[in-house]
Amino acid sequence: MAGPIMEWASEIFGNVKRKGEAAGQFLDAESEIEILRDVVKECLIRHILKVINTTNSTSHASGSHDAGLLATPQGYTAGDLESLSPDCVNGLMTKGYGIQDHFIEDRIIEDVYKELEMIDFEGKLTQVQQQKMIGYRTDKICWVNFEGLDREKQPGLLELFKKMISIPFELNKKCSLYLQASASFHLGCYPKDAYYKKHVDGGYESNLNNGRKVTALFYANKDWSQSDG
Q: How confident is the model at residue 112 (pLDDT cuts 50, 70, 90)?
A: very high
Global pTM value: 0.69
Q: What is the pLDDT of residues 15-32, one digit of tens each?
A: 888 888 888 888 888 888
Question: Which position has the higher pLDDT, 188 or 203?
Answer: 188
Asked if residue 200 has pLDDT above 80, the reply is no
Distance of CA 6 to the CA centre of its chain: 23
Q: Which CATH class is domain 67-228?
A: mainly beta
pLDDT in the model for residue 170:
96
The domain locations on the chain are 1-62, 67-228
Does residue 120 or residue 1 have the better pLDDT? 120
DSSP the chain: -HHHHHHHHHHHHHHHHHHHHHTT----HHHHHHHHHHHHHHHHHHHHHHHHHHHHHHHHHTTTT-GGGB--GGG--SS-S--S-HHHHHHHHHTS----SS-S-HHHHHHHHHHHHHHHHTT--EE-HHHHHTTSB--EEEEEEGGGS-TTT-HHHHHHHHHHHHHHHHHHHHH---PBP--EEEEEE--TT--B----S--SSTTT-SS----------TT--GGG-
Regarding predicted confidence, which is higher, 132 or 101? 101
Q: Smallest Cα–Cα separation from 92: which of 222, 179, 210?
A: 179
pLDDT at 56 over 60: no
Supply the pLDDT for residue 52: 64
Query: Can you give the pLDDT at residue 127?
Result: 83
Q: What is the pLDDT of residue 66?
A: 46
At residue 169, does pLDDT exceed 90?
yes
